[in-house]
Structure formats: structure tokens, C-alpha cells
């Protein structure tokens, strides 16, 4: 893209408000960029070019002085979020061709704010994965190195921003699926507090863990988007009836006196030296900005991975029971109804989804429920208590996001445990329901590294203020892949 067409949400919003370009021109520029680089990156499952241009022209015709900062700004949506009239497949063959008859709440709120959707983004099947390799349709590639994964499960959402095909996107995070791909693709990503953003219209993976959040280049852009999509929704029983603050007003650039805790357990064995070095340098930069940095302990962190892989598959087993070829998607032919259901689920669910359904069904089965699921929920309480005790001492926690940079496509696909370990630094936050922000903080072996900031429940403004202050003092978020 040329310099005329801004690549950040804030710059695009300012240019549109000043009349320097129209939404139609901006949308056409991004569609041209998509045409140029999408064959390499493959971030999209559905591109809605005509619909986007129609929406952009409408945004131009309805612009007012008090229009939303997202009015006329293009973005894209992860394909696990329902969009009226546009296919929503969740990256799965079992929902091939499914077109929802309604919009998710976040989509409604974006459209009410005048945003322009460019299409639906690839992801691991039903958001189950850490590399976007389990999609039934194609593998998304990392814009920094097309031989490497973009992370997952929201790999398409991270890659589309990193590749300059959209200034922002929406993803979902069940165990790190916003933060890990944000780190691996060198962009910023926010997992809000559980309950901060409505899940109505989100196809569920783990109902007590899932949360929708934005990707963009900067914390300031994330603040703009969160201000639009956050807030109570009576259609979502888990949506918190808590007022939404002015996130932009929180971006003062000042973090002097902020108490930053560094959990010793997050610098795990096997972490790449370059990742640890970049993370520690970023924490040192926060200290240079006036933050007080102290070491803290979250002693039950080591139990987060096994706890998550009992709770999340158990919830997935229940949530995915509805996909049987009867009500949604195509149906495999069989002699009886039960044959059709068995064949549809056996052939159209991918290997990773089948693995997690079986794990979850086993954990919930008679005789094993107390030994596995009930005990995992008890450990989850201990993990949450660790965070509560830490936040009695500090305002923010700073940690690595992923123990490695982006790995080669196919490197971990046949080793589920190695793949699961890529989320070791992100899983505990979902179990505790905390908000977490990732911002680019350097490079290791030429590939991006992300700093993870964790906050108290519903304290997203503190995270965004910290991330914004860091980005004012550094330029990692300005680096772009030579794609």
C-alpha cells in the first residue's frame, strides 16, 4: 500500500474525518492489497468485495461530524463469528456452506459504528489449534515468512493485519488464540475480560473460556475497537452489566508509578533465548518509563496446561454435539439416520476436533467426572486465586506470550503435546477470566516477539495505557514484513 492509504485504524479514521480520502477509496485500496498478497498469505475464507464497497459508499454518504472513529474503516472478521448472509464455516467441513440468518452482537455494533467488513478469516477448525493448520480449507501463512505458521487459532485475523490487507480484525481467544498469533505475526492483540464483550453469535468452543477481541497494529487502535464492541448484551447470559469506560481517554502515555509484576514461572524451560531476551528488554523499557518492576510468583501455573486440556475439551464435547448433519451443513448419506450422523461427524470433523471431543467426552463420562473434570475445576480456582494474590501487590503482570517465535509449517502438526505447549504462557489467563494485551516487543532470528500484559478483571484501560506508553517509546509496532 502507498503512504496515501493509512495502515492503522487511527490514521485511517483521521484521514476519513478530514476528507483526505473516502471510505470507498480506502476500501478499494485494501481490496487491491488483498488481490496482490492473499494468494501468498491465504488469510481469508470469504472475501466480500462488492458488499464492502457498497457499505463503504453508504459510510461516505452518511458521515457526520460526530461519526464513530470506525465509520468507513475497513476490517475483517474471524470465521467463527456469525455474519448475516455471509458464510460462517468455523474452518470446518461440517459447516461447509452454512450461512447464518443473523449477525453476532459484535458485528451489529461494528456495522452500527459504520465499519466496513472485507470478509471472513481463516482459523483452526472450530478455533481448536495453535497454528491455523487444522482448517479444513487451507493453511494460512505468516507474512514475515510464508514457510512458517501465523499462530492460531486466529491465524487469519493476525496475518491479515500483518500483511496490510486490513488495518484491524476480530478474533477469538479460548486459550491464547488472539495473543499467540498476535505475537507470532508482530501485531497487537487484546483478549478482553471474560464477559466484557458479548459472545452472542460466536460459535462456541469452550463456553467458560471463549472471548472475542481485536487485532491491530497499536494499542491505541485496539482501544478504538474495544470501545465499540464492549458492553452488556442481554442476549448473552455471561455478558457483564458493567459500564464501558472511555478507553481512548486512558491513553495518557504516562505509567510512572505503575506496579509491574514479572511472574517467575512464565520464563519456562525450553523458551528460546531470543524470546526471553526480547521480553526482558521490553520489561526493562517499562521500568525506564517509570514503572516499578518486581518479581512475583503464580505457583499453580504449572497445572494450567493439564487443567485447560480437561476443561476446554469437555466444553467442546458438549458444544459440538449439535453438529450432526441434521440441522447445519452438509450430510453424509447412510442407510439410517444414525449411520448418517456417524458418517457426517466422522468424515467432516478434522483430526484435532475429533481428538478433543473424545478427550472431553472421556473426562465427562460416568466414573471419571470427579477424577478429571471436577478436579480440574478445583485447580482452576487455585490458578485464579494466584492472580488475585498477585494483583494485591501489582497493577499489571508482564510475561512472554509464546515460548518460541513462529515455527515451520508442519513442524508440530503430528505432535499434539508440542503444539499444546505453545500456549503455555496464555492458557492461565483464560482459566482465570483475566484481560490480556500483546504488543510487539522485538525480533528473534528475524521473526516477531510479543510482550504479554495481564490485568485485573475489567481493567482493560490499564493494559491499553501501558501498551500505548510502551509503543510511544519504541518502534516495534511500526515494522512491516517485506511481503
Q: Would you name the residues annotated as active-site residues?
A: 78, 153, 177
Q: Specify the DSSP element, H or E, that contains 127.
A: none
The whole-angstrom separation of Cα 124 and Cα 212 is 15
Secondary structure (3-state) at 436: strand
| DSSP-assigned beta bridge partners for residue 455 | 396
* Residue 381 neighbours by CB under 8 Å, 6+ apart: none
Q: For residues 141 and 148, is the Cβ–Cβ distance under 8 A?
A: yes
**By the 8 A CB rule, do 437 and 251 touch?**
no
What span, in angstroms and rounded, lies between the C-alpha atoms of 104 and 449? 32
Phi, psi angles (nearest 5°) of residue 264: -65, -25
Three cell numbers written together for 169: 480484525
CB 218 within 8 A of CB 475: no
The DSSP string of 165-210 is: S-SEEEEEESSSTTHHHHHHHT-EEEEPPTTTB--TTBPPSSTTT-
CA dist 415 and 57 (Å) reads 48
Q: Which residue has the cell 509491574?
A: 260
| CA–CA distance, 83 with 61 (Å, rounded to integer) | 23
Amino acid at each position: 500500500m502507498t503512504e496515501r492509504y493509512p495502515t492503522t485504524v487511527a490514521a485511517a479514521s483521521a484521514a476519513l474525518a478530514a476528507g483526505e480520502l473516502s471510505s470507498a477509496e480506502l476500501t478499494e485500496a485494501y481490496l487491491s492489497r488483498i488481490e496482490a498478497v492473499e494468494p501468498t498469505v491465504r488469510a481469508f475464507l470469504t472475501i466480500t468485495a462488492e458488499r464492502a464497497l457498497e457499505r463503504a459508499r453508504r459510510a461516505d454518504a452518511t458521515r457526520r461530524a460526530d461519526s464513530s472513529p470506525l465509520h468507513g474503516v475497513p476490517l475483517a472478521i474471524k470465521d467463527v463469528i456469525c455474519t448475516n448472509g455471509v458464510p460462517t464455516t468455523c474452518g470446518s467441513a461440517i459447516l461447509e456452506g452454512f450461512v447464518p440468518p443473523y449477525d453476532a452482537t459484535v458485528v451489529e455494533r461494528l456495522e452500527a459504528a459504520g465499519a466496513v467488513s472485507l470478509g471472513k478469516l481463516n482459523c483452526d477448525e472450530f478455533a481448536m489449534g495453535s497454528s491455523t493448520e487444522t482448517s479444513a480449507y487451507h493453511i494460512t501463512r505468516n507474512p514475515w515468512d510464508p514457510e512458517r505458521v501465523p499462530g492460531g487459532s486466529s491465524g487469519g485475523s493476525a496475518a491479515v493485519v500483518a500483511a496490510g490487507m486490513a488495518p484491524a480484525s476480530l478474533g477469538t481467544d479460548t486459550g491464547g488464540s488472539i495473543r499467540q498469533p498476535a505475537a507470532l505475526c508482530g501485531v497487537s492483540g487484546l483478549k478482553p475480560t471474560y464477559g466484557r464483550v458479548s459472545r452472542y453469535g460466536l460459535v462456541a468452543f469452550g463456553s467458560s473460556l471463549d472471548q472475542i477481541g481485536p487485532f491491530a497494529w497499536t494499542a491505541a487502535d485496539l482501544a478504538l475497537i474495544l470501545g465499540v464492541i464492549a458492553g452488556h448484551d442481554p442476549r448473552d447470559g455471561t455478558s457483564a452489566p458493567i459500564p464501558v469506560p472511555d478507553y481512548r481517554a486512558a491513553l495518557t502515555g504516562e505509567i510512572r508509578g505503575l506496579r509491574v509484576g514479572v511472574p517467575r514461572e512464565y520464563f519456562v524451560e525450553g523458551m528460546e533465548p531470543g524470546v526471553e531476551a526480547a521480553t526482558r528488554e521490553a520489561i526493562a523499557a517499562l521500568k525506564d518509563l517509570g514503572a516499578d518492576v518486581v518479581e512475583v510468583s503464580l505457583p499453580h501455573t504449572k497445572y494450567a496446561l493439564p487443567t485447560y486440556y480437561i476443561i476446554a475439551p469437555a466444553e467442546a464435547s458438549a458444544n459440538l454435539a449439535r453438529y450432526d448433519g441434521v440441522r447445519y451443513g452438509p450430510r453424509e448419506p447412510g442407510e439410517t439416520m444414525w449411520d448418517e450422523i456417524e458418517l457426517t461427524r466422522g468424515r467432516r470433523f478434522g483430526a484435532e476436533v475429533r481428538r478433543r471431543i473424545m478427550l472431553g467426552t472421556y473426562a465427562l463420562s460416568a466414573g471419571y467426572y470427579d477424577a478429571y473434570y471436577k478436579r480440574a475445576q478445583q485447580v482452576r480456582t487455585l490458578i485464579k486465586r494466584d492472580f488475585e494474590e498477585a494483583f494485591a501487590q501489582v497493577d499489571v503482570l508482564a510475561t512472554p506470550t509464546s515460548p518460541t517465535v513462529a515455527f515451520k509449517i508442519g513442524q508440530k502438526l503430528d505432535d499434539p503435546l508440542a503444539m499444546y505447549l505453545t500456549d503455555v504462557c496464555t492458557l492461565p489467563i483464560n482459566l482465570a477470566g483475566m484481560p490480556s494485551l500483546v504488543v510487539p516487543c522485538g525480533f528473534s532470528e528475524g521473526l516477531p516477539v510479543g510482550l504479554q500484559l495481564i490485568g485485573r478483571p475489567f481493567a482493560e484501560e490499564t493494559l491499553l495505557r501501558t501498551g500505548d506508553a510502551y509503543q510511544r517509546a519504541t518502534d516495534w509496532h511500526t515494522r512491516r514484513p517485506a511481503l
